[in-house]
DNA sequence: GTTGACAAATGACACTGTGTCACATATAAT
DNA sequence: ATTATATGTGACACAGTGTCATTTGTCAAC
């Protein structure tokens, strides 16, 4: 999280930094981004950056905060709406991200966000993006909203496994959505994956 | 791939470089490794490294080549043995990696290999590890070995989707295997995931 | 309106790492 | 012995990092 100092900055200055950061985080994969480029573009001194943020990760995490909250609320609403259908909820997340977020010119930025997601989440200086996407469903609050009566789920552990699989498949579909030229193809594949997950691959 | 020059080196020298590389690739996640450490440890000049390899990626890829081939052959044999059961084949891959490879002291190195796998495979300078693991099943040769008669698969595209899902789930299980202290827990979860994939989550 | 004290901004500094290239040194071929 | 040709080398110019002593700004108290 940013420091007090950053928060107290004028909206104008904060914005200039955030715009420069978004530009840099959009330009190349996360590991290739540099603080140097951000401070130069935002026209602040190198030392100032460290007065505001502890690291690149810190800054990006802050930039994702709003989206994450939006997503959290969206999921909660959707789960209530569908009376606890996780599959519907994940499909809704998928559509939300590909459409609501894809509408504006920040598309390339979100593409990077998805790309930046690592397979392994727990290495010290690593981005927590996947955890954030999966996040809500790891919290009690969300789990309680899921209706397991129609599912072959015995205990909470099995529920976690199902969520894990749904998450994997959703992330993969999102990657494909940004990778393929065709949004349709990616969605069709995603629906098929969900279908397999619900009904199985065996005849 | 390494240059001719590297190949012509004495076994002793090649080995010294490979040992130093393995040490470095084991030490930290791939992005944090440095050529500097490798050349210092291997006691070769910085310039020499670039005479042998074009990059870190190049070197690591070369180091993985043998394992990849071993795995490819193993999969092919297993598919024939099981008369084309993809699920059995993937489970065998899982056991092969966690046991056959886990036997020796290179465990930490393989752990890193799995960690290094990226969600997105197609960015220019990115490691191709996931592609390599998934690789064989993208080739005609392997696809033909799979028996789809008992599966709900209409065309090749759907087969690819199933393989994609199996791959995702297997990689996740491998990550967990190295993450958990318990090898058993990871395998149990993996079996459950395969079960869900085969028979579906719905009642 | 001057002072002082605290907050914020700055960029030079010492590091670590990169890839390259002109030169040095082997090895082989004539 | 001479000339090619292949291989090895480390200094060099860059790019980026995080820190810190110093400067600059702000504002309340006198």
> What is the pTM assigned to this prediction?
0.90
Q: What is the pLDDT of residues B71-100, one digit of tens each?
A: 888 988 999 999 999 999 999 999 998 887
Res A176 pLDDT > 70: yes
| CA A2 – CA B53 distance, rounded (Å) | 41
Residue B138 has pLDDT above 60, yes or no: yes
Mean pLDDT score, A115-134: 51
Per-residue pLDDT at A130: 42
Encoded tokens for A183: 């949004």
pLDDT at B137: 65
Tokens representing residue B155 in the block = 């065309």
CA atoms of A64 and A69, how far apart (whole Å): 9
Q: Quick one: pLDDT at residue A22?
A: 97
Q: What is the nearest CA distance from B150 to chain A, expressed in angstroms?
A: 6
Average pLDDT score over residue span B162-177: 90
Question: How deeply is B196 buried, as exposed, middle or buried, from its count of CB atoms within 10 A (0-12, 13-18, 19+)?
Answer: buried
User: What is the number of residues in chain A?
Assistant: 203
**Would you say residue B133 has pLDDT above 90?**
no
Among A91, A89, A111, residue whose Cα is nearest residue A101: A111
Find the residue closest to D7 using CA and C1' atoms.
B5
Angle at B184 between CA A173 and CA B65, to 5 degrees: 60
Residue matched to tokens 């040992």: B19
Distance between the alpha carbon (CA) of A46 and the C1' atom of C13, Å: 13
Taking the C-alpha atoms of residue A155 and residue A69, their distance in angstroms, rounded to an integer, is: 28
pLDDT digits (tens, 9 = 90+) for A70-106: 888 898 899 999 999 999 999 999 999 888 776 677 8
Please tell me the distance in Å from B196's CA to the nearest CA on chain A.
7
Residue B136, pLDDT score: 62
pLDDT of res. B157: 94
pLDDT tens-digit readout, B101-118: 766 778 888 888 887 776
Does residue A39 or residue A1 have the better pLDDT? A39
Closest by Cα among A175, A69, A38, A65 to A118: A175
Chain C bases near protein Cβ (<7 Å): 7-13, 16-22
Q: Is the CB of A46 within 7 Å of strand D?
A: yes
Is A47 near strand C, with its CB below 7 A from some atom of it?
A: yes
The pLDDT score that the predictor gives to residue A118 is 64
Using CA atoms, how far apart are residues A44 and A10, in angstroms rounded to an integer? 13
Say how far apart CA B31 and CA B25 lie, in whole Å.
10
- Both tokens of B9, joined, read 């080196």
Residue A125 predicted with pLDDT over 80: no
Look at residue B171 in the predicted model and tell me its pLDDT. 86
Count of beta carbons in the 10 Å neighbourhood of residue B126:
18
Number of cross-chain residue pairs from A and B with Cβ atoms under 8 Å apart:
111
Cβ(A41)–Cβ(A25) below 8 Å: no
| Confidence label for B122 from pLDDT (cuts 50, 70 and 90) | very low
- Of B66 and B195, the one with more pLDDT: B195
A55 CB below 7 A from strand D atoms: yes
Give tens-digit pLDDT for B2-49.
Answer: 999 999 999 999 999 999 999 999 999 888 999 999 999 999 999 999
Does residue A161 register a pLDDT over 70? yes
Residue A116 has pLDDT above 50, yes or no: yes
Burial B168-193 (b: 16+ CB within 10 A, else e): bbbbbbbbbbbeeeeeeebbebbebb
Check whether B145 has a pLDDT greater than 80: yes
Mean local confidence (pLDDT), A138-151: 88
Q: What letters, b where the CB count within 10 A reaches 16 and e where it falls short, cover A53-81?
A: beebeebbbbebeeeeeebbebbeebbee
Nearest to A176 by CA among B27, B43, B120, B29: B120
Q: Using the CB atom, is residue B39 less than 7 Å from strand D? A: no
């Amino acid at each position: 999280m940013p420091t007090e100092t950053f928060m107290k900055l004028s909206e104008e200055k904060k914005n200039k930094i955030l715009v420069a950061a978004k530009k840099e985080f959009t330009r190349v994969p996360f590991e290739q981004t540099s603080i140097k480029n951000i401070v130069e573009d935002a026209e602040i001194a190198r030392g100032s950056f460290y007065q505001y943020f502890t690291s690149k990760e810190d800054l990006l995490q802050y930039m994702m905060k709003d989206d994450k909250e939006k997503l959290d609320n969206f999921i909660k609403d959707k789960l209530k709406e569908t009376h606890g259908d996780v599959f519907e909820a994940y499909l809704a997340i998928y559509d939300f991200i590909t459409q609501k977020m894809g509408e504006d010119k920040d598309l390339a930025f979100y593409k990077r966000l998805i790309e930046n997601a690592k397979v392994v989440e727990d290495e010290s200086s690593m981005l927590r993006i996947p955890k954030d996407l999966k996040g809500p469903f790891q919290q009690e609050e969300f789990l309680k909203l899921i209706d397991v009566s129609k599912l072959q789920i015995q205990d909470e552990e099995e529920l976690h496994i199902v969520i894990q699989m749904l998450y994997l498949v959703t992330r993969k579909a999102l990657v494909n959505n940004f990778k393929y030229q065709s949004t349709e193809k990616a969605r069709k594949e995603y629906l098929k994956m969900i279908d397999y997950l619900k009904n199985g691959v065996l005849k």
